[in-house]
Structure 1
Amino acid sequence: MDETVDHIFISCGFTSTIWALVSLWCKIPDIFAFSIKDLLELHEDIGITGRKKAVIQGIIRIGCWCIWKARNDYKFNNKEIKVEGIMRDIKTLGFFWFNSRSKGSVVSWDDWRSFVNM
């Protein structure tokens, strides 16, 4: 199979699992996209507003980065890809990103992991 951007980030069964887990974690409708553009603009079309909308946008971008990094580790370093590892990375990087950008409203790790108070 050709490795297109859309395949890597959307149509690959592995990444479909990642996006399903992100949807569950963030308590949003299932993430379905037909192109990378759809994926990156998803936060505009799922009926959320305010801070949560910005958070979802950031998480999608972080998710893409983590998927890309895992794909490259597999391709170039022969490192096994694990869904749990990618989800851990998305949550961890997202937590640091969110708290570094929040002005005075830091979220605790426990709240972030359960995605409350967004």
Structure 2
Amino acid sequence: MDALQRRNIPGIDPRCVMCGEEDESAEHLFSSCCVAAVIWQQVSRWCNIPNLLVFLVKDLLVAHDFCGLNGGKKEVVKGVIRVACWSFWRARNEAKFNRKTISIGGILSEIKSGFVVRVPPRFEVLAFG
């Protein structure tokens, strides 16, 4: 959205399509948007890790380093966060360009179905539920 505004493209609503509360930017969309906050809370609960606190987009790139896990479990959480970002972005695009209604449950379902993992027995502690 920032790039379109800089180019003075007319007719573009600058508000976030996810929450409608603020102008959309990458920082807002992935960190301060109330819909994103719910997504990160649910991802944290699903991965059985402390709540992800996201203040900047770059926090998502390192969040797995601060979830209290090591090795393969940490890599699984890293993958889940990346799939969550992609699913959230896809939902945003569907709402923005195809006028689809935002569904937090739908986004969470896509995250879970998009991240199918066969967990080796040594990782059973990391229970996705």
Q: Which bin holds the TM-score, normalised by the shorter protein?
A: 0.7 to 0.9
State the 4+ residue runs in structure 1 displaced beyond 2 angstroms: none
Instruction: Give aligned pairs, total.
Output: 104
Q: Name the structure where helix makes up a greater proportion of residues.
A: 1
What is the rounded CA distance, in whole Å, between the counterparts of 1:59 and 1:6 in structure 2?
19
What is the rounded CA distance, in whole Å, between the counterparts of 1:47 and 1:27 in structure 2?
10
Q: Given that residues 49 and 68 in structure 2 are in contact (C-alpha distance below 8 angstroms), is that contact kept between their aligned partners in structure 1?
A: no
RMSD, matched Cα:
1.9
Corresponding residue SS for 1:41: helix
| Match for residue 51 of structure 1 among 53, 64, 72 | 72
Moved more, 2-11 or 66-75: 2-11
| Match for residue 74 of structure 1 among 71, 95, 113 | 95
Q: Which residue does 1:19 correspond to in 2?
A: 40
**TM-score normalised according to structure 1 size:** 0.81
Tell me by how many angstroms 1:2 deviates: 2.1
Q: Which residue does 1:40 correspond to in 2?
A: 61
CA offsets, 1:33-75, max 9 Å, x none? Answer: 1111111210011221011100000000000000000000000
What is the rounded CA distance, in whole Å, between the counterparts of 2:46 and 2:56 in structure 1?
22
Q: How many percent of aligned residue pairs carry the same amino acid?
A: 42
Tell me by how many angstroms 1:10 deviates: 1.1
**TM-score normalised according to structure 2 size:** 0.74
Q: Which residue does 2:128 correspond to in 1?
A: 115
Q: Which runs of 5+ in 2 are unaligned?
A: 1-21
